[in-house]
Amino acid sequence: MTNTLSLIPSGIDTYRQAVVYMNEDCHICRAEGFSAQARIRIDLSDRWIIATLNVVARGGWLAVDEAALSTSGWEALGAQLGARGHFSHADVPFSASSIRAKAYGRRLDQNSFSAIIQDTLDNRLSDLHLAAFITSCAGDRLSESETVALTRAMQTAGETLDWGGAVVLDKHCVGGLPGNRTTPIVVAIIAAAGQLIPKTSSRAITSPAGTADTMEVMAPVALDADALRKVVELEGGCIVWGGGLNLSPADDHFIRIERPLDFDSTGQMVASVLSKKAAVGATHVLIDMPVGPTAKVRSTEAAAALGVRLKLVGAAIGLNVTLHQSDGSSPVGRGIGPSLEARDVLAVLRRAQEAPLDLRGRALDLAGKLLDLAPGARAGRGRREAEALLDSGAAEAKFLAICTAQGGFREPDAAAHRIEITAGVSGQLIAIDNRLIARIAKLAGAPRQKSAGVRLLARTGDQVIKGQPLYEIHAETPGELAYSAGYAESHSNVLTLSEAAK
C-alpha cells in the first residue's frame, strides 16, 4: 500500500489531541497535498484516529518514510514499534457547518448540538473547530433553549448512573474563588449523615486547583464507573475525577480548549455542570455562587441571571436545583494550590486549632443546606446536624474511609522552595485580588505541580506593618519560584492596603 508510513512515537504530550508529524518531503505529504493543520485519518488494523498534521522541515529529526504520533495519538491507535499505518484525507465533519452557523449568530437545535458532541467524541473536530464553537457560545450567545439542548446532548452522549430511585445529593461551586475547597468536607459530612453523594469533580480550568487536583493529593481520583459505584455503595460518597468516567465525556474535550483560552461560557458552564450532575444520577443539586468584584460572578445581578438559567435547565432535565450565594470578595482559607488546599481541608476535618474558620463555616453552610434538601428533613436543622458530625469526628472518619475505598489516604507533600512577599507599607489589608493571587499560584506551578501555590499569611481586615509577610509562594523548583516571584513583585496591587496607610 503506497499510502502507508512506519509509525513511531514522538514522545510529545499534546494532552487529548491526536497529532501526527510528517517530513515535508514525505511522498504522502507531496502527493496528497497535506499541509500543516490538515486533518488526516490514520488506520491501523481495526483501529483508526483522526489527527492534526504538523510538518517537520527536511533534514530534521523525522525520516521521509516515518510518521510520528503524539502520546495521545499513539495510545488511541494502540500502535507498536514497527507498525505501518494507512493515511487518507479525513472527511469534513458534518457538524462543521453547524459551528459556522453558530459563529454567524444562528441558533442551533438539538440535532445540531448532538452532532457537534458526537464529532467531538470521535475526534473529527480539530482544536480550531472546538475553539470556534466555544467562542461562538461565549457570553450570552446561547439561548435558554440552546442551553437545554446542549446539556441533553452532553449527558446522553455518555452513561448515566442509576441508584435505584434513591435520593442522591450533589453540590457544585461555579468557581473563581481561590482556596474555596469545601467539597471534600461537605461530602464527608453528607456521607456521615447517611445520605448518598457520588461527587465527580473537574481538574482546574482557569484556577490553580480544581477539586479533583486537591483530592488527588490525598487519594486516587481516576476511578472508572464500576469502582465509583463500589466506593459509594460502601461509604455513601466519593470524590473522583469526572474525566476518568464516561459521564458527559465531551466535557473534558471542552475543558482542554477552555484552559488556554482562560474563560468559561455561561451557557456551556451550565451545560457542563448540569449534564454531569444528571449523568452521575443526582436528584437534588446545590449550586454555590460566590459573588465578588474579582470572582467569576461579579455582581448579585449576574448571579441572579445565572441562577435563573441553572434552575430552568435543571428543571428541564429533571434536577431539583437550589442556589446559594456566598461572599466572593477574597480567597477562602490559607492555601491556594492542590497540596496547600488539601492541608486546609484536613485541618478543618481534624478540628485543628489552626483550621481556617472561613472554610469551615462555608462547608457547614453548604452541608446544612444539602441536608435540608433531603426528603423528610426538618427545614433549618441541617446546619446543626452538619456541625455535630464535624465536631464529633464522624466527618473525619468518613473522609478517611472514602479515601481508603478509593485506593488509600496519603498526607499532602510540602514544596521544597518558598519565598515570602512582604508589605511595602503599614496599614489595614482591605482587599485581595482573586485573579492576581491565583495567577501567582499558577506561575509557581499549580496545579500541575501539586505542592506549588500560595499560602496567605494575612487576611482582609488585618492590620499589618511594613516588612510583615503577606503571603508565601511555594514552588517545586527554584526557576518556578523566581518566575512567580517576579510577577508578584511587579504587581503591587495583588493585596490592597488602606489609603490612610499610603
DSSP states of 328-362 = -SS--SSEESHHHHHHHHHHHHTT-TT--HHHHHH
Which of 128, 156, 184 corresponds to the end of one domain? Answer: 156
Q: Please state the φ and ψ torsions of residue 478, each to the nearest 5 degrees.
A: -60, -35
Number of domains composing the chain:
4
Cell numbers linked to 366:
453548604
What's residue 15's pLDDT? Answer: 76
CATH code of the domain in which 111 resides? 1.20.970.10
CATH code, domain carrying 462: 3.90.1170.30
389 and 431 fall within a common domain: no
Are 336 and 469 part of one and the same domain?
no
CA angle 32, 33, 38 (to 5 degrees): 105
pLDDT tens digits for the chain (502 residues)?
Answer: 578 999 999 999 987 789 999 999 998 888 777 777 788 999 999 999 999 999 999 888 999 999 999 999 999 999 999 899 999 988 889 999 999 999 999 999 999 999 999 999 988 898 889 999 999 998 889 999 999 999 999 999 999 999 999 999 999 999 889 999 999 999 999 999 999 999 999 888 788 999 999 999 999 999 999 999 999 999 999 999 988 788 889 988 888 888 778 776 788 889 999 999 999 999 999 999 999 998 889 999 999 999 999 999 999 999 999 999 999 999 999 999 999 999 999 999 999 999 999 999 999 999 999 999 988 888 889 999 999 999 999 999 999 999 999 999 999 999 999 999 999 999 999 999 999 999 999 999 999 999 999 999 999 999 999 999 999 999 999 999 999 999 999 998 899 988 544 4
Does 54 lie in the same domain as 18? yes
CATH number of the domain enclosing 20: 2.40.40.20
Q: Which amino acid is at 300?
A: T
Which residue shows C-alpha cell 489552626?
Answer: 354
Same domain for 313 and 173 = yes
Domain check: are 240 and 295 in the same one?
Answer: yes
Residues 110 and 20 in one domain: no
Tell me, yes or no, whether 475 lies in a domain: yes
> Residue 33 sits in which domain range?
4-89
What confidence score (pLDDT) does residue 89 get?
87
The one catalytic residue among 170, 213, 252, 264: 264
Same domain, 206 and 345: yes
Q: Do 292 and 399 belong to one domain? A: yes
133 and 219 share a domain?
no
Q: Is residue 293 included in any domain, yes or no?
A: yes
Concerning whether 264 is annotated as a catalytic residue, the answer is: yes
Same domain, residue pair 271 and 330: yes
Q: What is the three-state SS of 360-391?
A: HHHHHHHHHHHHHHCCCCCCCCHHHHHHHHHH
